[in-house]
Each structure stands twice: as C-alpha cells, then as structure tokens.
Amino acid sequence: MTTTVRTPAETVGTLGERALIARIRERLAPPPAWLLVGPVDDAAIVARERNAYDVITTDACVEGIHFDRGFVPPKAIGHRAVAANLSDLAAMGAQPRLILLSLILPPALSLAEFDDVIEGVLEACGRHRVTVAGGNITRSPGPLIVDITALGTVRPRRQLLRTGARPGDLVFVTGSLGGARAGLQMCEFGAESVGTDSASPKGRYLWPEPRIRTGLQLGRQQAATACMDLSDGLADGVRQLAQASGVGMEIDADALPIDANTRQWFEGRGKDAILEAALGGDDYELLFTAAPRRQGRLRSVQRTTKTVTFTRIGVVTGDKATVLVRGSRRDPMPEGFQHFLGEP
C-alpha cells in the first residue's frame, strides 16, 4: 500500500506518465535475482531457468466488454486481468514468472481507482510469486484497459497441450462451473450476494483463482493427455479441445459440478442450470483429459492440490462430434461465446 497523501479529486490526468510509473514502482516487491533489468529501462532482461522452455501469453480486459466499472471494483479489475493470464499459463502446465502490465487509462480515472487497480494486480501477482517486470502506460480516449502479457516456464515433456486427447480418455474439470456467470448476473441485477467469499458466485466472478498448482502438477506427473482453461466456458472448451485433438467428446450433463448457490440462482430465474453452467465463461477452471490407466497419477495430483476437486464429466470418442448427454437425450454441445459473432 502506498502512503502517498491524496485528495479525492486527483485523477491520473493530473500526473505525468512517469509519475504514474514511479507510483507503481514504489509498491513493487524487491525483484528476484533472475530479473537482471527490471522496469527501469527500454525492456526487461530475464535470466533463464536451466532446462526449461519459455511460455508466453497475452490477454486484455476492456471496460464495457469484459467488465463494467459500475459494479466491478477497481481492485477486482486488476485481479481479474492477472488471473486471466495466469490461467492460460496454468493450462500449459507452466510456472508463471513475470507479467508486463500495459495500462490504457482514461485521464479522468481517479488516482484512488488507479491505486486500487494496481493493488489488485500486485496482490494477485504476489499470491503466485509473479514479478511485475515492466509495462507501459498510455492515455485512453475512452475505455479503461488492462492488457497483460505473462511469461512462465515449463520443463520439456511437462507441458500440457490441447492436442493430446485420445479416444477412450476420460474428461475432467476442476472445481465447479457456472459460478462466475451467476455472480456476474447477481452483480448486474444488483442482487444481494449469498456470500462475499471467493467461493460465492460473486466471488467467483470478481476474484477468480487460476489453477496454477493443478496445472503444474498435471504436467509434472504427466497425468493429463490434453488441457485448456475455461475462460470462455465449458461448451467452448469442449469444442476447442476436441477440435485441437481431432476427436469427439461425450459430456454427461448430470455430472457437471455446479454448486448449490449457483444452481439456486439459475433455477430461481427459470433457467436451465446445466445449460447456463455449460455456457458460462470466466470460471477459469481447467478442462483436461486423462488416460483411464493413469488414474493413479490423477489421485496423486489431487493429493497435492487438496482444495481443488476433479470431477469426471465425460469421455473422449473417436468421431468428431461433441455431445451433451442428458439421460436419453443426446444434443450437440451448444456454441460457446465468441467476441464479435453476430454483431453489426
């Protein structure tokens, strides 16, 4: 936390770009030894771990598209932007090391909000021992944007890809589904939260936790044949994983892990909880496949990631269809979310 005294009227527009950068820098933890040049030069210089590959990803959070400043607190904006990126590394079995933070800021953003966005970023990074190694700050003519690049490492033959699912493999998902979608709806409708902890639907939406440890262990123990994260929902994930691996999947609708508060929210509004959970994005759970004969390894992974449950939700098939099985009904897996689709 910065101790700088400020008045409520101050905005980022009253400070220079470098003063804002200095404001972030003074809050950074001391850099690790491998960060040879940190956020003080044209670029950061990073010494590498031996015998490891770089894993790199980028993901932007855009006001009006990914979040509404009306109900997402600034700290959660920062948290969610980090989580979305670290979740992509988790899906590869990678250990995150650093992020670059590209901020595109409306000049009218208050310094208090700015500080809270940064606090959300730094807390999320701190929890996973991730270093802010650099970034960029520029003015926005409109939306607030937090665009992050995350760099991690993975050892050879320990990476998790989307391409390895084989017919007969079992399909698993971590944690529970649909919570973030229910939480977003609760925020939008101004509903009282059932709980404010991170396991409540609102908590799932505002404070998602990337499954880094699970991804790492699945990779290290070579327990999964394919893996991805569910940023755009299960329906999208099943289709993408199946397509990347050139296989099909049958998902058992009744097996989907949906927590009681989430189910109650959807059903109380006359919705099909299973479909909502399958379509809901932002859960940042992992979807993965595993060979039946390697379930011993899965149990071993679960022992090291105790609080994260694994639920078996289906099976990989040899045809290329993705099917949602509900009792005697077999429907095609619904289409997931895509940016742009169907817009003018």
- The whole-angstrom separation of Cα 339 and Cα 343 is 9
Query: For the window 268-307, what string marks contact with a second copy as x by the rule CB under 8 A?
Result: ----------------------------------------
Based on C-alpha coordinates, what's the Rg of the chain?
A: 21
**Residue whose pair of structure tokens reads 């399958």 in the numeric block:** 278
Q: Work out whether 26 is an interface residue with a second copy (CB under 8 A).
A: no
Least Å from the CB of residue 313 to a second copy: 19
Only one of the segments 143-151, 164-172, 195-203, 274-282 lies at the binding site for a second copy (rule: CB under 8 A); that segment is: 143-151
Segment contacting a second copy by CB under 8 A, of 124-132, 141-149, 199-207, 289-297: 141-149
Least Å from the CB of residue 110 to a second copy:
13
For a second copy, give the closer residue by CB, 152 or 201. 152
Map tokens 């700088």 to a residue.
Answer: 4
Check residue 45 for interaction with a second copy (CB under 8 A). yes
Q: Which of 178, 182, 169, 167 is nearest to 312 (CA)?
A: 169
SS3 56: strand
Residues 176-235 that bind a second copy (CB under 8 A): 228-229
Identify the CA nearest to 210 among candidates 129, 146, 102, 100.
129
Task: Please say whether the beta carbons of 124 and 60 come within 8 A.
Answer: no
Find, among 120, 259, 287, 293, the residue nearest to 180 by Cα.
Answer: 259
Identity of the residue, 105 or 180, whose beta carbon is nearer to a second copy in the bound complex: 105
Near a second copy by CB under 8 A: residue from 133, 206, 251, 291: 133
Q: Is 321 in the site for a second copy (CB under 8 A)?
A: no
Shortest reach from residue 11's CB to a second copy, in Å: 8
Tokens of 154: 């993975």
Q: What is the largest CA-CA distance in the chain?
A: 65
